[in-house]
Structure 1
Amino acid sequence: MTAASSPTPALAGVQAIAQAYAAADAAAAFLAIDAYAHATLAHALCTINRYDAGAMRVLRLYSSNPVAYPPGGSKDKAGTAWGRHVLQERRVFVGEGEDAIREFFDDHGAIRELGLRSVINVPVVYGGACLGTVNFLMPRPAVSDADVHAARLAGLLALPAFQALDRP
């Protein structure tokens, strides 16, 4: 890249994530990861949650729509199929269509009102432990394998921010 050329959107996204990590700013990293993933996923909502394994709860750290889903909100996932799948078994969850969203999410009405019809939830895992999730909700009723791969990459990009949250 020459001094006169501009970085591609993908490179600009990577640079924004790198700058956030260089500044030790997890919130800026989450924002940059959301923007970077949006170029591929065209999602309408991104949330990032920290997982408290002892309480089997997730706490929202980041939301691209803080009015509908404010940071600080939490959800109890004890005894839920979603909690077992994503948090305990550490597997990506893909929900396609309104029926899947209604089946797995208590807040399905709010999700429907936002016009969201599919979801990809990515567990952020290190050393066999789930630290949290990166979640993308889309208005389209189905997602592709490429969408799932892009969401998984976003989850990997979020790992340093989750690790930093546990440091004194």
Structure 2
Amino acid sequence: MTNKPLSTLLAAQAEKGQPLPVFKALDDLCKELVGHELFTLLYVDGQEVARIYSNRPEEYPVSGRKLMGPTPWGDLVLKNKQPFIGYDKEAIRWAFFDHELIESMGLGSVINVPVIYDDAVIGTLNLLAPEHYYREEQVALVEQLAPALVPAFLQARAEARATSNRSI
């Protein structure tokens, strides 16, 4: 990978209105480098993950939550800090309870990369595309970008928790 993606992300970190500029820059970079139709970012909150960015908010809105910790996918990505690549719809069905929605969008392959900080997974970077789209070498490209998300993830997670803890 050239320095262009990293310099693009670092420049996005200097923009006002964080963390959205970083999330959008990463969305654009992943689209250019690897390709995707659905791009989401999730932070870990106990056994759940909460969505803090989505390029398709109609189907996958920000603030959506799902239980992912006590699952085989959760063991692999959240507990063992390993990326997951799903090549086909069978892999999507194995990993996600919302596979019917994913398939209805014409998607059938996925890359999930853990975002790790202080030896803990604080979130995941998720790309989905049509079946048989992704290859193993694409995972490494996405893994190189994930650490640039740490400051933005920490900020977004803190803001989301503060919002959800407010009394009505």
Question: Which of the five TM-score ranges fits, normalised by the shorter chain?
Answer: 0.7 to 0.9
**Amino acid in the other structure paired with 2:153:** F
- The residue that corresponds to 1:46 in the other structure is 39
Displacement, 1:158?
1.3
Aligned-residue offset at 1:153: 2.0
Contact map agreement 1:93 1:120 (CA 8 A) in 2: yes
1:23 pairs, out of 15, 18, 43, with 15
SS across alignment from 1:79: coil
Q: Is the 1:95–1:118 contact (alpha carbons within 8 Å) kept by the matching residues of 2?
A: yes
CA contact (8 A) 2:12 2:22 kept: yes
- Structure 1: which 5+ residue stretches go unaligned? 1-9
Separation in 2, partners of 1:135, 1:22: 24
Tell me which residue corresponds to 1:60: 51
Partner of 2:88: 97
Matched positions, count = 156
**1:78-106 deviation line (CA, Å, top 9, x unaligned):** 32101111111111011110111111111
Letter of the structure 1 residue corresponding to residue 111 of structure 2: I
Structure 1: distance between partners of 2:42 and 2:152: 12
Secondary structure of 1:94 counterpart: strand
Q: Secondary structure at the match of 2:123?
A: strand
Q: Secondary structure of 1:33's partner?
A: helix
- In 1: Cα distance, 2:50 partner to 2:65 partner: 4
1:83 matched to 2:83? The reply is no
> Higher Cα Rg: structure 1 or 2?
1
Counterpart of 2:137? 146
Between the aligned partners of 1:78 and 1:87, the Cα distance in structure 2 is 7
Distance in 2 of aligned mates of 1:57 and 1:101: 18
Structure 2 counterparts to residues 2-13 of structure 1, below 5 A: 11=4
Contact 1:116 1:139 in 2 (8 A): yes
Q: Give the Å deviation of 1:132.
A: 0.4
The alpha-carbon deviation at position 40 of structure 1 amounts to 1.4
TM-score (structure 1 length as normaliser): 0.84
User: 1: CA distance between counterparts of 2:156 and 2:69?
Assistant: 23
SS in 2 for 1:51: strand
Once the two structures are superposed, what CA deviation does each residue of 1:32-87 show, in whole Å capped at 9, x if it has no partner? Answer: 1010111111111100001013xx10000000101110000000113210111111
Task: Tell me by how many angstroms 1:20 deviates.
Answer: 2.7
Deviates more, 1:13-22 or 1:35-44: 13-22
